[in-house]
Amino acid sequence: MSLTVTNDETASRYSVHRGDELQGWIDYDVSAGTLRLLHAEVPPLMRNKGVGGDVVQAILDEVRGSRSEPVQPVCGFVRMWMRRHPEYDDLTQR
């Protein structure tokens, strides 16, 4: 089953679901024309299973197709994931 990304602009949160099951989310803000990814979270039972990376990738793929601002990974997990996946470097240099 594929992942679905939802952007709740009121809460400044991207959420990722697999079917009806929440996989995780990233809180963000937009400051000075930059999309700042502040905090990533997955439910406790899903940690250490690769779900966090799936969540980050799904959200960055959504951002790539729907936003024009550069991305600033403030969250340490997101920053580390992006360093390991240079194919997403273009998102920080828009």
The CATH code for residues 3-89 is 3.40.630.30
pLDDT single digits (tens) 41-84: 999 988 989 899 999 999 999 999 999 999 999 999 999 999 99
Which three-class secondary structure state does DSSP give residue 77?
Answer: helix
Sequence ranges of the domains in the chain: 3-89
Please, what is the Cα angle at 57 between 55 and 58, to 5 degrees? 65
Q: What is the model's pTM?
A: 0.93
Beta partners for residue 4, in sequence order: 17
